[in-house]
Amino acid sequence: MTLFACATVFAEPHNWQIVDATLQQQLESNPELALQQAQELLKKENYSPDSNRAAWFALNEVIAHAQISMGLYDEAAHIANHLYKTHDSRLFTEYKARAILLKAMLAERHNDVEQTKETVQEGLALLANSKVSLNQSLQADLYSLLSKGYRESADYANALKYAKRAIELANNDSSRLARFHNKIGVIYDYTGNVELALKHHDLSLRLRQATDNQQGISDSLYNIGEIYRDMGRFPQALKHFLQALKVDESLGNPYHVANSHGKLGQVYLAMGKVDLALEHINHGIYITKKMNAPSDMAWQKSNLARAYIAKKQFDKALNIANDALQLAVAAKAKRTEHTVRMVLLDIFIAQKRVDKAAEQIDLLLSMANTGLQYQSELHKVSAQLYEQSGDTRNAYSALKRFVETQQKLHEYIEQRQSERVTQNVEVIRQEQALKLLQKEQALQQAKLDNLELQRKMVFLVLLLLVGVALMIYFRLRAKQKLANLSADMLATNLREKNQLLSDVSHELRTPLAALKLSIELLEHNIEPDTEKAYRKVHQKIAQLDHLIADIYRSAQYDNNVMQLIKQRVELNELVKDVVSDFKPQFDAQDQALDVEFMSEQLMCEVDPERFKQILINLLNNSLAYTHKNGQTHLCLQVVNLANKRRALLSVSDSEPGVTDEQLNKIFERFYRVDASRSRDSGGSGLGLAICKQIVLAHEGEIIAEHSDYGGITFKVLIDID
């Protein structure tokens, strides 16, 4: 779950439990991320004991647990003490007990065995005296810590009892069951029951792999490696410890990283690779120094002392072992003390200091956690030492004790074998229970998956129905739009057709009326000048022919039936040819026609006849609508537009000008700026529209602008290349 998702869930009442569960799972695999998310949520939501005590406590608890996992013990102790002092035992029993669990975990990490047991007993007593329903998971965690305290005190019977009690209270919690089976496996390993130790570690490993609990997997690999080490199967032990170290380093827990380095040092030492052993042991000591954990430091130094024994540097080994002994005794860590004294014994034997060796043997035999196997070995060593020193009486006594211990050991082994059968049955029962739990979890997951699938199916069906409905709606809407568009286009076409018929009839009526009048005058001999009347008749017929031709050409362009016959021509010559025809007409009307050609050739692929028609229509337009003594300027040049070379033909005339509105309509068919004057000038109203159609057929552009001379400028752009 991302931080955003966490914040969203926290925003709803009571949903903080979901986020708390998510963060608890995160603690197992990535404590650093859990710490970051909890701190940011606590800061963002601004929780307090007054606004939401449950969420405030849960987030602080996660932060403390993460800090403990990361070795930030001082920061975690500050939170634990604050939570402990903030909650009254009677009003907030469970919160108080959870704060006590944090304090007990910190005591255990500092190797303070007695403080750990004392703090755990306080929490268990608080829960036992409470009238509210007991939190069994919390009790299980407390019993687990109590078990570890007794294990460190070498009281394996109580350690096993409380570990089993923790399992009973775990309520099929896979994460807790994995932890507790791992602890039982360690206890069996310490008591020499390797078979049961491996069974419990295997159970733990399978549970952790099922939940992808990386730290748990590392713990199981570490403990299995420890068993292989005790069995003398060093390659297998090395493989497991290296895997555990890799996971520990990825998670960043200094406590576990230091322990893995220490165990690797032990294995390399047993394999005779002293330099590699020293490298790992020194690395473990370097990390442990930062943790303020005296028992761990004593254990790491005992490893270092053994490395120097292997290098035969006995004085240096002795100094290191004495430092380790002081730390172990101060921490009241009996098992670690036992380990250190065994190292001291080996040093004194190597130095042949019989009195010191005998002293250590007596101390080791007096320790409650020295098992029969160790006692047997110690008596045997004691007998050998006395024999070497010539003290036959004490040698005989030691040998006698060795024989007696061996007999007790055989009796113990027989008893343990009987117990082992019973315990194996129990382990089998637990395995079956685990398999049943896994099957139940798989069934629950299958039900959840099925429910999720049904939910998705319903959602998909609804989505499909909505999609079909939308498709039908948009299809009907598109159909209606198409129908409306067709109706609008039909109406527009009808209007344009009616307007065209009206315009054509209007354009034809005027020359026909004048033609009819001239014919009637000739018919009744009313016109005195018959030659003039005939000229008028011919003019009107020519005007009608020109109008009909223009209408025909415009219709051809509209229907895309007019085909251009393009060829490469020299535009300067083409323009000169047209201008030469118009020059006399401009002179006859006292109008100036200025032409500006290019100095070099301008070759362009056009239809020459159609291009001439463009120029003819534009010059006719200027000739017809420019005032007497007016001016028309024609220019041909090459311009570069949008990385293209284009031919620009511009025709500009003088007054009269037009308005912006008239300029926008100037290329429309039958549009005249001054209808009466245009009609008198003999124009059809189609010339400029035809110009535009020809230009577009050449994939060019034509525009109309206000002229600097006061009239209109027409610009025609045609691609050259």
Nearest to 615 by CA among 574, 663, 666, 658: 574
How far is Cα 482 from Cα 488, in angstroms, rounded to an integer? Answer: 10
Provide the pLDDT confidence category of residue 546 given band limits of 50, 70 and 90.
Answer: low
3-class secondary-structure state, position 654: strand
Task: Give all strands (DSSP E) within 599-674, no chain letters.
Answer: 603-606, 631-641, 644-654
Domain boundaries, the chain: 449-562, 567-719
What is d(CA 25, CA 23) in angstroms, rounded to the nearest whole number? Answer: 5
- Please count the CA atoms within 13 angstroms of the CA of 710 that sit on its side-chain side: 8
Q: Among 104-113, 179-188, 354-363, 632-641, name the most confident range.
A: 632-641
> Looking at residue 356, what DSSP letter applies?
H
Residue 536 pLDDT > 70, yes or no?
Answer: no
Residues 6+ apart with CB under 8 A from 437: 172, 174
Architecture of the domain defined by 567-719: 2-Layer Sandwich (3.30)
Tokens of 11: 């925003």
How many Cα atoms are found within 13 Å in the side-chain-facing hemisphere of 293? Answer: 30
Lowest average pLDDT, out of 35-39, 211-215, 238-242, 699-703, goes to 211-215
Alpha carbons 426 and 422: distance in angstroms, whole number: 6
Instruction: Give the pTM.
Output: 0.45
Q: How confident is the model at residue 131 (pLDDT cuts 50, 70, 90)?
A: low
Provide the token pair at 215: 């730290």
Residues 6 or more apart whose CB falls under 8 angstroms from that of 377 comprise none
Q: Report the range out of 44-53, 151-160, 247-256, 618-627 with the highest average pLDDT.
A: 618-627
Report the CATH fold assignment for 449-562. Helix Hairpins (1.10.287)
Instruction: Tell me phi and psi for residue 407, to 5 degrees.
Output: -65, -45
The residue among 586 and 29 whose pLDDT is bigger is 586
pLDDT digits (tens, 9 = 90+) for 354-379: 888 888 888 877 776 666 667 777 77
Quick check: 466 pLDDT over 50? yes
The candidate with the shortest Cα–Cα distance to 221, out of 202, 198, 240, 247, is: 240
Q: Is the per-residue pLDDT at 457 higher than 80? A: yes
